[in-house]
Structure 1
């Protein structure tokens, strides 16, 4: 047995992690004798800094993979990082400007990419090292990066396959555009927030001078690109205008009135301005009516040459100018306050523009249908099930996915154009010459949406498109662990990509966890200043305390609160485990036989029964991903049953001086402790491995040991029932002593009328030690007891304690009478105050409620004092 330090200090965590890494215990390999269990880590961005969301996600995954590894699976947790096109490019652009005073245009594409890769090498591994501090047991030998050579080859292969099947196309479409990031965004990358704005009403006069139509809009600046006004053909009031021409204010153009069912009868003025270049619905309507597309806002959010005198203005500046001019020229009717949802870039928060642009798209309907079917048929199950509704809502209303981005950092689109003849070639390798005319070919300038490569993560990381053992053995994976905010971005896309490319979904279960909130239930954010740095928590309390605090109280799909009190409570639990383990190890000698005892006493049978129940329940909980429930059960069993009761019950045998008794107690304590360490290991791996290493056989490693199994041979229900009743009795005696202010050192006599005298006689020693009883006397009934006593009644026994052993009756009676008089005086005062109608009517409600609470507390206290006095009298 190696000595344990007197106090718990988590500084050993690095040593333990290095030991695991050196032993390659995290690695997984195809093994025909074992069933695989695979988790793919949601790859954090290389720009990332470990935050509490990462810590929760990684802790949940690590608990699952450690549990499965110990349960006999060939458990692979494959880690990696994401290149994060937009986020990384923004960082590098900022760095270039700050450190070199240069822009992307100054250094060119190659110069920029050199800087990007250098930045990745310097900062990209930062979050990986932070994840290791948390204790993540990933197979780091398989660590992947979305722009690794192999993964890039997978991206090119999938793009080409999609293109050849007609699932990828290039065309002019309305897209979401971020003027700040200067790139296209998919629908999933646009976040909508309610903004207080206005609704401007103004007139479009008929070209023949006979009347006008009033329209209402939240975006007057886009009217410069209007190419029609639409009305519903079934609207009797408006249909008569169809075919007439309108003069577009502030321009020299005339536009038609067209009929379309898209316009809702009775909504607004009944007429809608149509701007095909700057609204997705207008674009579709424009296609139906063959309307021209006039773009008036450029890529930087400024008005372009089609905006006439407003050219060069910022779009919001132009809005003010247009409204002013409409007012000045007599077109503006009125302005009304109006709240509406405005799309913002999920990265920078800039208001997104809808513009028409030539982009690459994935045709989604053919891919969405089998992905929907996979979830409906339960080939893929969401946990909790309610998130399937979110998934179906997205997938059933999905639009084609814009996958091209106007960036330089990322997977460049494998499309090549011949400027001589216009030929387009999509190929995994760059063609030397145009296959049609022999001319020079240039590659598309754009890169792919980051989520395109992330969607391939479950199989690209395993070597796709090459056929190999890792891919065939570990795919499909077992469970995806992720937060609910990326079901659209990532989960759905992985499902349809896996089905399309691998002919089966990438995982069978999707475990959704919530987000970490602060003590007040608010989302942690920089703007609120309520973020907690997990690395600071690890420095102060250790990784195990952080992990256990994140695991405690969580439930699938629900948010969790993180508080200082919670982390301190978990640190206290870990201290308790350390001290209890140290006690056990200190009391094991070289002479002890630690083999499992052949004869068991009552306490042994009780703790083994409880241990078996906990093993069974926790195993069920972890298989159902009920991590919070499992953590709570282990906390209670370890602290309240093993530490507080079983260790105390074992001390008489340890201190008896009997070698055989000592050996028995040592064997049982180490057996139960070992099972506890195994059960707790997935949650708090560092301390459990450290403690285990102090007494385990040489070469034995806890993290790859066998998960405890339920053993019905060591389940003793009768003894369990008896000992639960005994514990209830001892607790009742302790409570009585506390209420009567009996010093801990004072021993009292106890007359016991037992339901099962044989058992209670065998347990008398526990009562003496744990309840401060000096002498236990068994009697048949109360008539045998002549002393004045106070009675404690439990399921196991009626215990009579002589009052003379507890208190000086006269002094205690005098004290209680004074306390009762004082309490009654307070009750009278509060009753009078609350009977005063003036006070109740005029005082703040909070004050009145406070006084009522004081009255209730005083009445309760007075009642308890009278009960104690009654016992004495």
Structure 2
């Protein structure tokens, strides 16, 4: 009967404030009109309910009747790479719930939608599509025509994403929608770059970056996946017709110059051998101590016909291989740092396309992994290749192209982040910026304390072209100028050179997508124009924890640097959506589903067709399609059941979104659809009851001063307590607790209990039936309005049939004593139903229940609830008798089924003679209750053990210990009762 969820008890003052909020919360502000029950469908059909509704409209004013100011957020912009996925749906639903809740509290909501151009991701998808459909590369098509193809893609996918957000019911400010490459955004991006450049925080230099040879561009760390290999593994690499093998380590001999001695180095990347500038050993490694006593030692390079030094560095791991390592600074971060300390010049091995540079005649123009095989053959012929062994390794993979990432020395633009990061750390440490959950503060500090300069340039065509110009004066001097236009760059250059300018040429590179995203809290409010000041900062930033550093930290750094204030006051981080088994959604597993597939349902055939379309468009390759189809059949052999938008939203919020991962189960989503149908049926019952009683629901204004019965008072108390706890849970972003409370109230309290108790009075047309019907309407109206933040579609539909203006003082109706009294009744009913279930006794067997108590107070309390208990136990009748223990022994013999209902009472069940004759012979009563007795004895022993524990007695309060003693007494009384009638 009663859920195990513990409800929080709040002060009368808190209830009074909540009551004032909900009294004025009119979800639909229009003249009170109740729709005819005949127009309400027999069952809940989400597709029919959602078909003609626009719950995402923003014309409504704050619901509480007052205006507490503005509440502002921006929606993290989905990438225009495809459809809205469940991760987007989770984040958008969380924010929509928050916004709707704030609107109920009386705030004007400004929640701004937009989409992100997603430079690399979008360009890769359009390139694949172009190659698949027309057999052309972007270079063959040309820059301008290719850009037109991307803009065409953006219009289709961007519109689809916005439409999906509409369908999700999000109350976004659609008239303020932005795109990260629109004119306003471009002005903000260019202004920020120029200011940071002129403050000497942005500089151009040659440095090691993550490089994708397939993209011919630098990529960010977030676009690099790590593939763990346990041994030899053949992988498909873009640009290679055959698979390339990885997972081996090669021992290569370096001969000492002027000697027959050799030093062996171990490497997993022999193709970088051409760029070796030294061999390094640890200065204390005993195997190489002898060389320290000599003058500088050199080794012969096998392919360059020159000498490289043997150097000593404490960074070398003596336990790896031979203890000697090759130093290739142009293609390895650690080697680059060692080379800088030893004043060694890097030597580039690969071109931007991943082929060997021209200076190495023997291998020039060969793709890097083909050159590897050629080099190994050559080393073998020179007797310099020693052992080749299987080796586990971590391989960096470009998440966009599946190419093997190279570390390449390239001239790039870098933003110096150290001072910006220190300021961002200070904001969290001071409490001016709050991060929830708090455990992510450790990540914040760790990432920002180790923050390196940020490579902000990309060698792409799609994105914000960097507003930097290489200026050359008449004397041939060059310098970089940051400017909004070529004319402005020319003027700035002339001033800087103090001479005429021969040319200014804009850098063709574009900015990292995260650079423009980092400015969104400013750019959406038209910064740098002065109008932004009245709307900055935001109140909350809600996003996934996986981009805490890549996006949130950078927004904070940019906001502090450019305008001197954090861009938001609080950060709420949600987990990553996984499937029901806790696996990340991926193409290879075939477990990726879109929100609309869950909302509308999908057959297995339609899911397979969607995958085929992705393959036809070039988004999936042949191997990905094959894996996806296989995973799809395993995950959804019968397709996906239609659940509806409200069930999707409710299910997404039914998880603790602040955990690291959120496991989404479509079966649970369908269960929540059935829960909504339960509310639908309760509304139909209430409206039908009103029609039967000739009661006009629209005339119900208040229940104050009505002659409410105990069960009316109980359900109103449950309503008050539930709505209070819901409001607290949402304020703390504990959405899963709020949804659990709604399910408990509507399912356990209202539908399964109170509604059942109203049937005799309503069917009989008695005076109390009118009170029951009005109470039902009140609970449904207030409960549905409160739940509308999670389920807006069904709320708008059902509230047409219910009064949504009913005055109710929640603090007045919260009653801990009536709840305790009804809890006793419900526990007795549960015990009776359990015995009925164990013995397969149904209503057709006309069961009679006799309750036996031993004191007058208990007799009086039970006697007032017999009618409700009959309804809740589904029995023909319920009686109560006051008996002594001796009399109880005598009465027990008249019942085939006998048990206890806690310490409150004992009860017996009688069934009609037909059932007794047809039924199978059942064990004796003592056998039936033996398991129950054993369970109770074990439970009382646990309580005694705890009370006897010295540590518990020291730490537990006197009140807690009293409750334990009381529980022991209650259990002992029930045990005594069972033993008593077992021995009779």
Above 0.5 in TM-score?
yes
Pairs within 5 Å for 1:394-413:
394-413=447-466
1:129 and 2:192 are equivalent in the alignment: no
Shift of 1:482: 2.1
Match of 2:799, SS? helix
1:282 and 2:335 are equivalent in the alignment: yes
- Report the equivalent of 2:482: 426
1:630 and 2:665 are equivalent in the alignment: no
C-alpha offsets along residues 746-797 of structure 1, whole Å, 9 cap, x if unaligned?
Answer: 1525254364333323222212333324252443546667652354433684
1:297 and 2:397 are equivalent in the alignment: no
Q: 1:17 to 1:140 in 2, by over 3 A?
A: farther
- For 1:251, which of 301, 304, 309 is the aligned residue? 304
Match of 2:712, SS? helix
Q: Which runs of 5+ in 2 are unaligned?
A: 1-33, 232-246, 601-641, 929-977
- Report the equivalent of 2:544: 483
**Is the CA contact 1:722–1:796 (under 8 Å) kept in the aligned structure 2?**
no
Match of 1:793, SS? strand
* CA distance, structure 1, for counterparts of residue 393 and residue 578 of structure 2: 28
Pairs within 5 Å for 1:353-432:
353-420=406-473, 421=476, 422-431=478-487
1:735 and 2:834 are equivalent in the alignment: yes
Shift of 1:129: 0.8
**Is the CA contact 2:67–2:107 (under 8 Å) kept in the aligned structure 1?**
no
Deviates more, 1:753-762 or 1:781-790: 781-790
- For 1:224, which of 274, 277, 280 is the aligned residue? 274
* CA distance, structure 1, for counterparts of residue 126 and residue 340 of structure 2: 40
- For 2:152, which of 96, 115, 118 is the aligned residue? 118
- For 2:713, which of 600, 605, 630 is the aligned residue? 605
- Report the equivalent of 1:848: none
* CA distance, structure 2, for counterparts of residue 251 and residue 448 of structure 1: 37
Pairs within 5 Å for 1:72-471:
72-195=106-229, 196=231, 197-209=247-259, 211-235=261-285, 237=289, 239-240=292-293, 243-420=296-473, 421=476, 422-431=478-487, 433=490, 434-435=493-494, 436=497, 437-468=500-531, 471=532
1:692 and 2:799 are equivalent in the alignment: yes
* CA distance, structure 1, for counterparts of residue 898 and residue 913 of structure 2: 12
Pairs within 5 Å for 1:712-861:
712-745=811-844, 746-748=846-848, 750-753=850-853, 755-771=857-873, 772-774=875-877, 776-781=879-884, 787=891, 788-789=894-895, 790-794=897-901, 797-801=904-908, 803=910, 814=921, 816=923
Shift of 1:127: 1.3
**Is the CA contact 1:242–1:258 (under 8 Å) kept in the aligned structure 2?**
no
Shift of 1:803: 4.2
Q: 1:799 to 1:595 in 2, by over 3 A?
A: farther
* CA distance, structure 2, for counterparts of residue 33 and residue 808 of structure 1: 65
C-alpha offsets along residues 602-644 of structure 1, whole Å, 9 cap, x if unaligned?
Answer: 0122112222221222222111111112211211111011111
Deviates more, 1:239-248 or 1:776-785: 776-785
* CA distance, structure 2, for counterparts of residue 167 and residue 372 of structure 1: 18
Shift of 1:215: 1.7
* CA distance, structure 2, for counterparts of residue 180 and residue 125 of structure 1: 29
**Is the CA contact 1:227–1:294 (under 8 Å) kept in the aligned structure 2?**
yes
Match of 1:120, SS? helix
C-alpha offsets along residues 401-424 of structure 1, whole Å, 9 cap, x if unaligned?
Answer: 111101111000000112453232
- Report the equivalent of 1:827: none
**Is the CA contact 2:253–2:384 (under 8 Å) kept in the aligned structure 1?**
yes
* CA distance, structure 2, for counterparts of residue 465 and residue 806 of structure 1: 87
Pairs within 5 Å for 1:628-667:
628-658=736-766, 660-667=767-774
**Is the CA contact 1:46–1:125 (under 8 Å) kept in the aligned structure 2?**
no
Match of 1:343, SS? strand
Match of 1:477, SS? coil
Match of 1:292, SS? coil
C-alpha offsets along residues 828-852 of structure 1, whole Å, 9 cap, x if unaligned?
Answer: xxxxxxxxxxxxxxxxxxxxxxxxx
- Report the equivalent of 2:961: none
* CA distance, structure 1, for counterparts of residue 66 and residue 487 of structure 2: 43
**Is the CA contact 1:576–1:639 (under 8 Å) kept in the aligned structure 2?**
yes
* CA distance, structure 1, for counterparts of residue 140 and residue 838 of structure 2: 81
- Report the equivalent of 2:683: 581
- Report the equivalent of 1:532: 593
Q: 1:205 to 1:775 in 2, by over 3 A?
A: closer
* CA distance, structure 2, for counterparts of residue 128 and residue 689 of structure 1: 22
1:507 and 2:568 are equivalent in the alignment: yes
Pairs within 5 Å for 1:671-686:
671-686=778-793
* CA distance, structure 1, for counterparts of residue 295 and residue 777 of structure 2: 89
Match of 2:120, SS? helix
* CA distance, structure 2, for counterparts of residue 5 and residue 793 of structure 1: 43
C-alpha offsets along residues 1-48 of structure 1, whole Å, 9 cap, x if unaligned?
Answer: 312111111124545642652x623999xx995243322211110112
**Is the CA contact 1:616–1:709 (under 8 Å) kept in the aligned structure 2?**
no
* CA distance, structure 2, for counterparts of residue 644 and residue 806 of structure 1: 30
Deviates more, 1:201-210 or 1:353-362: 201-210
Shift of 1:689: 1.6
- For 1:47, which of 44, 65, 81 is the aligned residue? 81
**Is the CA contact 1:13–1:686 (under 8 Å) kept in the aligned structure 2?**
yes
* CA distance, structure 2, for counterparts of residue 590 and residue 321 of structure 1: 92
* CA distance, structure 2, for counterparts of residue 635 and residue 543 of structure 1: 17
Shift of 1:385: 2.2
**Is the CA contact 1:26–1:139 (under 8 Å) kept in the aligned structure 2?**
no
Shift of 1:493: 1.3
C-alpha offsets along residues 317-354 of structure 1, whole Å, 9 cap, x if unaligned?
Answer: 21122122112101122223221222221322211111
Q: How many positions carry a matched residue from both structures?
A: 815
**Is the CA contact 1:813–1:872 (under 8 Å) kept in the aligned structure 2?**
no
* CA distance, structure 2, for counterparts of residue 812 and residue 5 of structure 1: 41
**Is the CA contact 2:781–2:802 (under 8 Å) kept in the aligned structure 1?**
no
Match of 1:18, SS? coil
* CA distance, structure 2, for counterparts of residue 474 and residue 798 of structure 1: 64
* CA distance, structure 1, for counterparts of residue 913 and residue 661 of structure 2: 50
1:9 and 2:45 are equivalent in the alignment: yes
**Is the CA contact 2:54–2:169 (under 8 Å) kept in the aligned structure 1?**
no
Shift of 1:170: 0.1
Q: Which runs of 4 or more aligned residues in structure 1 lie more than 6 Å from their structure 2 counterparts after TM superposition?
A: 806-811, 870-873
Normalising by the residue count of structure 1, what TM-score does the alignment of the two structures yield? 0.87
Q: 1:739 to 1:226 in 2, by over 3 A?
A: closer
**Is the CA contact 1:277–1:354 (under 8 Å) kept in the aligned structure 2?**
yes
Deviates more, 1:418-427 or 1:491-500: 418-427
Match of 1:243, SS? coil
Shift of 1:211: 2.4
* CA distance, structure 2, for counterparts of residue 231 and residue 710 of structure 1: 80
C-alpha offsets along residues 66-110 of structure 1, whole Å, 9 cap, x if unaligned?
Answer: 222212222322211000111111222233334444433344333
**Is the CA contact 1:730–1:770 (under 8 Å) kept in the aligned structure 2?**
yes
* CA distance, structure 2, for counterparts of residue 357 and residue 631 of structure 1: 53
Normalising by the residue count of structure 2, what TM-score does the alignment of the two structures yield? 0.78
* CA distance, structure 2, for counterparts of residue 150 and residue 445 of structure 1: 21
* CA distance, structure 2, for counterparts of residue 747 and residue 101 of structure 1: 78
